Amino acid sequence: MLKNALTCLHVSDICSNLIAMKKMLFATVLMIVIAGCVKDLPYEDLPIPIQFDAGLSAVNTRAPINNLTSGLTGIQILRATDHATTPDWSVVASVASTANIAAGGGVTGLSSAQYYNANPALNAWFMSFYPSGSVSANKVAWTITGQEDIIVAPSVSAGNKTTPVNPTVLAFGHKLTQLQFRVIAASSTAVTQWGTVSSIKVNADTALELTLSTNALAAASTPVNTDLTTSGTFPVTLPTVTAADAGLVMVLPGALNTIKVTTANAPEQTVSISGLTTTVAGSAHLITLTFTELGGITFSATLTDWATGTAGTGSL
C-alpha cells in the first residue's frame, strides 16, 4: 500500500511539472508573437501628422476680416500631389480638408488629418482659401454680393517626414479691394435740395475665378456684371459737418467701375471718380461724396487702413 501511494505521489508531481512547463512554453510563445507584431511597425514608419498655423496680411469674408484674433470657421485646404520641388496645382480639383482658425492663428479641427509621404524625398504642398467656393480642376469659383472678403493662402511647402515644417503657416492675403463710402452736404440748402441718400451702388464683376496654378483672381470666363449696393443702413441723412458712413463693398481690384447714387429728391445718377482710376487688392479706398447746392456731387478719394494712396476729386 505504501509503495502504491508513493508511486501515485510521484506521478502527480510529474503531471504538475508538465502543466507548469506548458504554461511557461505558452507564455514564451505569446511573447514572441507580440514581439513580432511590434517589429512589423517600426517607429520610423508610423505616419507623421502635418501641423498648420495661419496668418493674415494687413488686409480687411462676410464683413471684412481685419485680423485672426477672433478666429475663423470653415477655411478650405487644398493639397497638391506630393513633389520634391514643384507642385502641380493645375490638376487639383477638390478640397483635401476643411478646418478652423483658432484665436491667435492656430489651425484646428481638420476634417481630414494630413500626413507626410512615407518617401522622405517628397514634400507636401498646400493652399487654402475662404470662404468656400466651387472647386474644379485648377479653379475656385465664387459669386459675390459685395460683402464677402475672399482671402487666399498661396502654395506653401510643409516639408517632408525627415525635415518637416511644423507648423506649416498658411499666409492668407486679400484678393478683393474694399471701397468705403462717406457722404456729406456742402450746406443746409444742399441737404434740402437732395434729401436723404437712398442708395449707393458700384457696378462690378460678380462671377469670379481663382486660378490655382497662378494664384490669380479674375472675372469668370463668362462674365456676370451687377450693380452691388453698399452695406450702409439707408436712408442716410446728409450731415454738413462730419461725413457720414454710407457702407462699403468689396470688389475685384483694377479699374474703378461706375458708381451710382440715388437720393430722396433725385433719381439715380451715374458718377465717376477722378484721381482714383485703379483699385488695389488688399487696400481700402475711402470715397467721400460731397453734395453741393448746385445739384452737383463733388468726390474725393483716399486709400486707408491697408496702404496709403493719393487723394482724388471729381464732380457731376
pLDDT in tens, 90-114: 999 999 999 999 887 889 999 999 9
pLDDT of residue 8: 44
What's this model's pTM, rounded to 2 decimal places? 0.80
pLDDT of residue 99: 95
pLDDT of residue 6: 36
Joined together, the cell numbers standing for residue 313 give 476729386
Per-residue model confidence as pLDDT tens digits over 259-299: 999 999 999 998 878 778 899 999 999 999 999 987 677 77
pLDDT of residue 295: 67
Q: Which residues of the chain have pLDDT under 50?
A: 1-12, 14-15, 17-43, 59-62, 305, 307-316
pLDDT of residue 10: 47
pLDDT of residue 308: 35
pLDDT of residue 172: 92
pLDDT of residue 67: 67
